[in-house]
Amino acid sequence: MPAHAPTMTLPRTSRVDTADELLTLLNAATTEPRPDIQLEALMLAVAADLPVLLWGEPGIGKTAALTQLAESLDLPLTTVIASVHEPLDFSGLPVIGDDPTTHGVPLAPPDWAVRLVRAGRGLLFLDELSTAPPAVQAALLRLVLERRIGALQLPAGVRIVAAANPRSSAADGWELSPPLANRFVHLNWMHDPEVVVRGLGGIWPRASLPELDPEKFPAAVAFARRAVCELLTARPALVHRLPSGEARRGGAWPSPRSWEMTVRLIAFATAAGAGNDVMSLLIRGTVGDGPGFELLTSIDRMDLPDPEALLADPDAAELPERGDLRQVVLDGVVAAIRRKPTRARWDAAWSLLVRAVETGAPDLVVVPATTLATLRREDWDVPAAIDQLGGMVSVSRTANQAANRVAVQVKR
């Protein structure tokens, strides 16, 4: 019988190299520009040099987003798992020198902090923040707010981003302490199924730092300050409101510190021309949903036209396109007539309503037209503008009925 040929055995290193080739192919991916309000909000908060805390369930890509963020900003990424460190790792390790009674006991920083100082810039990623015990969270307060670790001051080029899982899904999780939570911009991180599918196919979204327009800086700062100050002037109770529940205290809530952060974020978002969705994420992530929605509503109404200016020149009036804002403006015009009723102003208001019908949804005019009709005085003729609205609402009849009622009351 013929002898069998000897079996060739590949060296172990060759088998490993072959596996590495397959891993290289699996890891190969390209990127594409894709609008993402979460990434845009994160980018703006990082640009504004504010600490950001990403909340999300395990495995949805928070760490991957931070890695991409660091690459997009060309910043070296330093990851620190907060839950595996001791408080002294963040407050500084005491080192006894030659004569402690003369020189004291200095607090030595950890090696990763020294590397950040040497680099002069970087992205510090504090992962698993919700699994850090209270003592570690307390030690992190100075790092997050003052950027100090022991006697070491982190340079201005270092940005801080943290990630946490909700307590329900965190391993031995803790609620965030209110002082630490109030130092962050909180962003809820959600996965987009379409992005995940394209990413698994080898194409991930590419983030880029929003472009800030220097020409908008003065106006952006003035707008941000006016927006916050007008709200807090009208609603002073919102200046500081510590939530009653423990879980809510570990999120975003209003305080003088978080309102100051809000001013900065509004200015950056305005200078970058960010959309309303991004602005909403940033504001609600800093002062909470309730105060955030109040501020967003106040901002919507800040640039509404003055009713008196509209009444002065109704033919040139420019009304908001959004239906809710247009309704507010028309109601304001009717309120202005109620405060100061004159024939000329009443006629001007009808001209405004006609313009509103010509440029928007007619149904928005029904309530203000009906109310305006009831304000007619006995000696005021019904303006021709009412006839143009006749097909929509029978306001002419309402006006005549209102005039008759006024006449009867006068005779009595």
3-state secondary structure 257-310: HHHHHHHHHHHHHHHCCCCHHHHHHHHHHHHCHHHHHHHHHHHHHHCCCCHHHH
- What's the CA gap between 169 and 55, in Å, rounded? 11
- What's the CA gap between 337 and 356, in Å, rounded? 17
* Element containing residue 39 per DSSP (H, E): helix 37-47
Crossing angle of helices 366-374 and 343-359, in 10° steps, is 170
Contact 93, 47 (CB under 8 A): no
One-letter amino acid for residue 226 of the chain? R
Listed residue (148, 154, 144, 153) closest to 176, CA to CA: 144
- Residue 378 confidence (pLDDT): 82
Give residues with Cβ within 8 angstroms of 399, minimum separation 6.
373, 374, 376, 382, 386
Assigned superfamily of 33-96+105-206: P-loop containing nucleotide triphosphate hydrolases (3.40.50.300)
One-letter amino acid for residue 114 of the chain? V
Q: Which residues pair with 204 in a beta bridge?
A: 31
Locate tokens 């919507």: which residue? 300
- What's the CA gap between 60 and 43, in Å, rounded? 18
Residues of the chain with pLDDT under 50: 1, 10, 395-397, 399, 403, 406-407, 410
Instruction: Please state, as a whole number, how many other Cβ atoms lie within 10 Å of the Cβ of residue 4.
Output: 6
- What's the CA gap between 262 and 253, in Å, rounded? 11
- Residue 116 confidence (pLDDT): 92
What is the pTM (predicted TM-score) of this model? Answer: 0.76
- What's the CA gap between 287 and 296, in Å, rounded? 11
Task: Region of 217 please: left (phi>0), alpha (psi -120 to 50) or beta.
Answer: alpha
Spans of all domains in the chain: 33-96+105-206, 214-302, 307-411
- Residue 5 confidence (pLDDT): 55
- What's the CA gap between 255 and 252, in Å, rounded? 10
- Residue 410 confidence (pLDDT): 44
Phi, psi torsion values for 411, nearest 5 degrees? -65, -30
